[in-house]
Chains A and B, each alone.
Chain A
């Protein structure tokens, strides 16, 4: 049986998905990147191999996320695709008539608008990461609430307080202030969820026509408090997919599948044993011209397999 692998390397998490021939998810994994994308991909491959049904061979690989190029070299990708397109593809596979995708990850958030099955507009957070997963993680830790329970605390709130959500630093001071005024943790958490949703809709969602069905995905979709705040602010039901945390990786696998099926060719996948190979990166400043590009070299088992960062292609084309 054939299958497809999708790898999404983000700032906070690295997600992997294996699909069957039809594109349905048969195995998935969500682990922390911890600032080491290569190690995370290798660890992910090692863990995922144990979950993949026996007899399934990978016939195509797609990578996405901010570490997509690096991940593509490490696993041997047939397709390297930006995370906006991947998230849209996965959402539309699940909800074919989806018109709005809300996605909040570790350090970025995006909105994707679709009409009649194609993406017509999108936006990503630009100047501020307030309201993304990293900030929620930090606040959960500070309030001594496990991140998994953060959302259910919000749902128990009786009277959500108003928190200034424009900036994480001010949001945190405001939360401390509200704690010291004597508000309950539940009310503060619910207030924070509402503030983050307000901030998201005012920045990322500004000027976008949000129509149903609305799909909410990315790591933060685990938070039922944020989901409830979105529903309240939009006045629309918000659908969270079963595999909300790995939708980007699934989209990459689906696109790899599409590519290999339209244009059959052997996959470049290095196999799950890529988990055991030795990858090293190094960098240097090119002195060829005034651009002074920072060139990155990736080597596998001591042999350079990729270079990038040079604007003129002088080093990239040497391979």
Chain B
């Protein structure tokens, strides 16, 4: 089997190690680019969402590189993404690619389906014996990647030379990628954190704090959101992302978690609306309580769960006094439009802060 998988943030480094340790030949897909999106848009239904289109483009690029099997995840609740695996399979078959799609369903909800797909991936009984060790290494790597990325995000708003943090971080990713044993991965983490800490910083700055919430793919994959997190940080704003893959996996696949988020959302929304709609509400409440200056909701265009959330967010915003900006994303979205809205949003937040301090200002001049 030559296996490939969806590309999302830094997670390909983890999937690459997992699948190759399971004894497969791994085709790491190229990071999503304009070409990926063009391919996906060409063969996807027009009204499919942008995660669907980027994923389809990624699969086509990986197939061109020799992949014959695709592993992806399923979903729960009333969001189309639960059917996307099947729809991807049919589109690929109609295009004449006889690829196999293994859909990993949420193990706590559909253990049978999950185990069937897992068995296909694990294969021989001998590999089952090695599985705990493999999972330990991969889990370590996933967590290390998240921690190092968080460290980079925390430093970037203070960096003296624009782009310096990103350059160091990209080198760190190479070092973590090369590490395979738990000891090596931990050593790479220590080295990465030390290197990032050395990035020259101006700690006299008092950055605004903005949180990013929304649908998981557009929150996690910078290409899908025009790199908003880094764009904000390079404008000198702390941008905290609601979703990191390790925590998300723990809360959704290992234990039934995220109870705090659901609880926080309850005064506004008590139903699962599919996808991450409930999370967008609950997380906005939590960020308001944590004293954030504003929240940005990232939503694929025409995503029903996020549309439901968007229609409730004005009330949350009003009652908890926290500004919320929604950005809908699809293949038509231009970076210039996103930048203009982000700049205006930051001006709005800066003016609010000044006003609280008893001063008058229009913008972060």
Contact = CB atoms under 8 A, between A and B. Distances in A.
A245 B344 CA distance: 20
B344 A82 contact: yes
A262 B348 CA distance: 19
Nearest to B347: A85
Chain A interface, >50% SS class: mixed
B362 to A, nearest CB: 5
Interface stretch (A118-126, A152-160, A233-241): A118-126
Chain B interface, >50% SS class: helix
Given A124-B340, A127-B328, A85 B363 contact: yes
Interface string A135-161: 000000000000000000000000000
A290 B147 CA distance: 24
A122 B314 contact: no
B344 A122 contact: yes
A117 interface: yes
A255 to B, nearest CB: 6
Interface string B334-348: 001101110111011
Contact of B340 (A66, A127, A317): A66
A38 interface: no
A121 B345 CA distance: 8
B363 A124 contact: no
A34 B161 CA distance: 37
Contact of A82 (B166, B347, B352): B347
B340 A290 contact: no
B227 interface: yes
A120 B163 contact: no
A124 B339 CA distance: 12
A119 B355 CA distance: 11
B163 A118 contact: no
A82 B339 CA distance: 9
Interface residue range, chain A: 20 to 34
Contacts of A66: 336, 340
A266 interface: no
B227 A292 contact: no
Contacts of A314: 163
Contacts of B163: 312-314, 317
Nearest to A126: B328
A258 interface: yes
Nearest to B361: A258
A116 B358 CA distance: 13
B323 interface: yes
A120 B345 CA distance: 9
Given A312-B166, A313-B163, 20 more contacts: A82-B343, A85-B348, A85-B362, A89-B362, A118-B362, A120-B323, A120-B352, A121-B323, A121-B348, A122-B345, A122-B348, A126-B333, A126-B337, A127-B328, A127-B332, A258-B365, A292-B34, A312-B163, A314-B163, A316-B162
27 contacts: A79-B365, A81-B347, A82-B343, A82-B347, A83-B340, A84-B340, A84-B344, A85-B343, A85-B347, A85-B362, A85-B363, A118-B362, A119-B344, A120-B352, A124-B340, A127-B301, A127-B332, A255-B363, A255-B365, A258-B362, A259-B365, A262-B365, A290-B30, A291-B33, A311-B227, A316-B162, A317-B162
Interface of A: 66, 79, 81-85, 88-89, 116-122, 124, 126-127, 207, 255, 258-259, 262, 290-292, 311-314, 316-317
Interface of B: 30-31, 33-34, 161-163, 166-167, 227, 301, 311, 314, 317, 323, 328, 332-333, 336-337, 339-341, 343-345, 347-348, 351-352, 355, 360, 362-363, 365
